[in-house]
Chain A
């Protein structure tokens, strides 16, 4: 049954998909994005969050380096509240190859990436936790970028131009007539309803799933998902992004994100992008390299481990894994496979998502006789909450809460939350103490049509992502939020099961690192939920 139609349907709610939706919408093209789960389910949140300056690619791939520095500058400007302009450091410690420095400096210079040499003293003053075995350090314009926020803000921007999006809507079938895509069949993963959406062009932006989506149209597209594991630490070990100055390899980069630091990553080719498993061995490998840069790394508390898959496109006969190209491809299936009305975009990096969308839409738009120019670099993603508004709101928020809420919520929802905090003082209660999230914020996000469970609220508020990993906020937020969800999942229909699912998902990232301080916290959780609340309904005797 046809229930919806759009000129273009974009499949995949990652950075690539949302970037395309925004670009098309700004060009005046009617577009709808569908995402099979919650927004930003794939690589665009299961990633390192480094806004590359390009310095990492300066030796091997100058084209990528140049793209990065250009996009880096643009994203800092248009996405102020998604980017932390931390700046980065490239460091060598005793034992690192000194001969790598000169070609690297040359590569940076040729790619237009500014570098500044730091004396050992200055580097240690800036980052006192760095290893005393530090040899050389350079400053580069790296930054940190919040994948959830950046993606949601792209959607908000697209929405202002008429772009639409649906979460929990999975492409399950491509309906083709006369070698032309006529419509697609999707399944609503909340209600389990299946229906058709008519479209003129289907865009496959499913990242590491792009091969699978192509298969649904009977095509072959060689995407090799390459899994990378990342460790999240409980605090900011560093205020700069810190890269090891050597040939890129595993465990080289530390990125500070808000209250935490992420160390990564690795590269393992896997058959199925759904595989986000991690292991103690992978953690150990990263830690072993990590201690080279921060020698007391093992003293810091690990919050959790997670993994995501890069959508590496491997042209036939080429090499996969870390040595595969980080560039991206646009495939026009009309030209390649004789299927009209379908295009695939694959590969690339988060940092260059906007540029990828621009180049992709430059090919797509003419097919619809649209000659509008790309404007995505010119306009801010969302209007920022003004300093005056923040100042006025201070009295209602917990300390250190205003900036966090303003960047998480954006102008409109921030305004709503301030109003609630003002009028209903009981909503000022901080439900997530580790990440400073108030009840009002949780209620506001829970009331969004895209929220169906506490985990959805988590991804947009950082609820449950701090020190206690949901220990305290799970019970509080399930009680407050679950009743506000309009459509609920089968397994999350009441606050108790919602809470249990939420904690179980947190547990997944904790299990591989259950030792030391992390284990203590886990035991606390177990004691509270299993013994005190008896959530599993165990009986005595």
Chain B
């Protein structure tokens, strides 16, 4: 059912205060970008004048959502941008960049490779060769980047081999593409942590990619299909009283906020109530006194980077707070956006902007002798490892390790 409040109506709330322009990392790094206030709320009133027109620099928006976070009036600026980009690219498919299709449809490639014997190792080999030969650049990808490698066993298959104690208390895990196909060990760590707390973790392989990369690539119709599929599953579990938990903050943001903002369906708003970020969930357990206590003993010093898509969820920094409370020696980098923003930094044209944005974070990380960077987001971790030489891990890995040690 169509919701009454829609993101596009939120433009009405804009008082043109320009806070979002100040907060937008892309505007700062690339003055060519006209900035959130103009391309979002201001232009949303102008489309009538010429539906065939388009603000070219809207393509520069990374959908990092710092504008939404900053806006004192609740304008969904980034969503206005994505809706407008999608509207335009649908009418003008020729305006797509050559790499859009691939970067937005990573899940298709990953699924295909899983069906081919040795598909993944061949693909990884291919990528190494490709990188060496400079093929990535020709495909529109930033040649400087190392492409993420496929795990030999995806989490969806690995999960079947994990032995869990059964329990009445269950959660449904939403792994998201990156954890599923590239970093399955994060999923394993999640299962360990939940098991330690008396929860049994379920998987449902009907889940599809959350759709975030589809949205930024302008494939809104497909994203809508993904949303409908996932929302139906979430609601099915909601009826059984089983919460859905994600470790990737871009996935959880999508399930919790963006579906509703983009597509304005009441089912989506309803389903969102049953979705949790992993550390948000664990913090809730802690607040209820139900989290298994753990004391982290480590001589190392860590630095935490809060992904923009986590900050956009408006729930504080649950992983940072929880790990710190557990005794970890960790500081908050508090250095803004890493510049990667999902697939944004992979585009050749965005590479420079992406690295410029990340510089403050890289500097913060390099400022001291940190053992590891902790960050909830997979693509942030990739960017951090690219921009510094420090290894980046998901906070759930730290917690899982601590439980194991205890």
Contacts and interface: CB of A to CB of B under 8 A. Distances in A.
B4 A467 contact: no
Given A434-B42, A467-B45, A403 B50 contact: yes
Contacts of A472: 16
Interface in A516-539: 517, 520-521, 524
Interface stretch (A71-79, A175-183, A295-303, A310-318): A295-303
Given A403-B50, A466-B45, A300 B12 contact: yes
Nearest to A260: B45
A400 B84 CA distance: 13
Given A402-B53, A467-B42, A521 B12 contact: no
A258 interface: yes
Contacts of A236: 45, 48
Nearest to B35: A433
A233 B237 CA distance: 43
7 contacts: A235-B11, A256-B48, A399-B46, A434-B45, A467-B16, A467-B42, A468-B16
Contact of A399 (B9, B12, B13, B55): B55
Given A434-B45, A468-B16, A521-B15, 16 more contacts: A235-B11, A300-B9, A394-B53, A399-B43, A399-B54, A399-B56, A400-B46, A402-B50, A404-B49, A430-B38, A436-B46, A467-B42, A471-B15, A472-B16, A517-B15, A520-B13
A433 B50 contact: no
Nearest to A434: B42
Interface of B: 2, 4-5, 9, 11-17, 37-38, 41-50, 53-56, 73
Interface string A421-440: 00000000010011010000
Interface residues of A, number: 33
A169 interface: no
Interface string A225-262: 00000000011100100000000000000001011000
A235 B13 CA distance: 11
Contacts of B13: 301, 517, 520
Nearest to B56: A399
Most A CB atoms within 10 A — which of B5, B43, B48, B50?
B48
Given A299-B9, A468-B16, A521-B15, A259 B45 contact: yes
Contacts of B15: 467-468, 471, 517, 520-521, 524
B42 A258 contact: no
Interface string A384-413: 000000000010001111111000000000
B4 A520 contact: no
A96 B55 CA distance: 44
Contact of A524 (B17, B38, B49): B17
Contacts of B4: 296, 299
Contacts of B48: 236, 239, 256, 258-259
Interface in A181-237: 234-236
Contacts of A239: 48
Contacts of B45: 234-236, 259, 434, 466-467
A296 B9 CA distance: 11
Given A433-B42, A434-B42, A520-B73, A467 B50 contact: no
A262 to B, nearest CB: 14
Contacts of B9: 235, 299-300
Given A399-B54, A400-B46, A400-B50, A235 B12 contact: yes
Interface string A499-530: 00000000000000000010011001000000
A505 B12 CA distance: 22
A234 B16 CA distance: 13
B16 A471 contact: yes
Interface string A113-153: 00000000000000010000000000000000000000000
B16 A403 contact: no
B306 to A, nearest CB: 29
A430 B56 CA distance: 16
Given A404-B49, A433-B37, A467 B14 contact: yes
- Top 8 A-B pairs, shortest CB-CB distance: A400-B46, A399-B55, A301-B12, A259-B45, A468-B16, A521-B15, A403-B50, A524-B15
A283 to B, nearest CB: 17
Contacts of B16: 433-434, 467-468, 471-472, 521, 524
A517 B15 CA distance: 8
B73 A399 contact: no
Nearest to B14: A467
A239 B49 CA distance: 12
A402 B17 CA distance: 26
Nearest to A299: B9
Contacts of B56: 399
Contacts of A467: 14-16, 41-42, 45
Interface in A310-357: none
Contacts of B41: 467
B41 to A, nearest CB: 7
Given A433-B37, A467-B42, A403 B12 contact: no
A465 to B, nearest CB: 11
A398 B9 CA distance: 23
Given A400-B43, A468-B15, A433 B38 contact: yes
Contacts of B17: 524
B73 A403 contact: no
A426 to B, nearest CB: 14
Nearest to B16: A468
Contacts of A258: 48-49
A388 to B, nearest CB: 15
A188 to B, nearest CB: 37
A258 to B, nearest CB: 7
A399 B55 CA distance: 5
A215 to B, nearest CB: 44
Contact of A400 (B37, B47, B73): B47
Contacts of A301: 12-13
A171 to B, nearest CB: 38
A532 to B, nearest CB: 12
Contacts of A402: 50, 53
Most A CB atoms within 10 A — which of B16, B17, B41, B47?
B16
Contacts of A517: 12-13, 15, 73
A399 B42 contact: no
A174 to B, nearest CB: 45
Interface in A464-504: 466-468, 471-472
Nearest to B50: A403
Nearest to B8: A235
Contacts of B53: 394, 399-400, 402-403
B53 to A, nearest CB: 5
A394 B73 CA distance: 33
A452 to B, nearest CB: 27
A436 B46 CA distance: 8
Contacts of B42: 433-434, 436, 467
A425 to B, nearest CB: 14
Contact of A259 (B37, B46, B54, B73): B46
Nearest to A236: B48
A300 B46 CA distance: 17
B49 A403 contact: yes
Nearest to A521: B15
Nearest to A523: B15
Most A CB atoms within 10 A — which of B2, B5, B15, B54?
B15
A532 B297 CA distance: 52
Nearest to B47: A400
Contacts of B55: 398-400
A430 B55 CA distance: 14
A466 B49 CA distance: 14
A471 B37 CA distance: 14
B168 to A, nearest CB: 43
A398 B39 CA distance: 11
Contacts of B46: 259, 399-400, 404, 436
B88 to A, nearest CB: 10
Contacts of A259: 45-46, 48-49
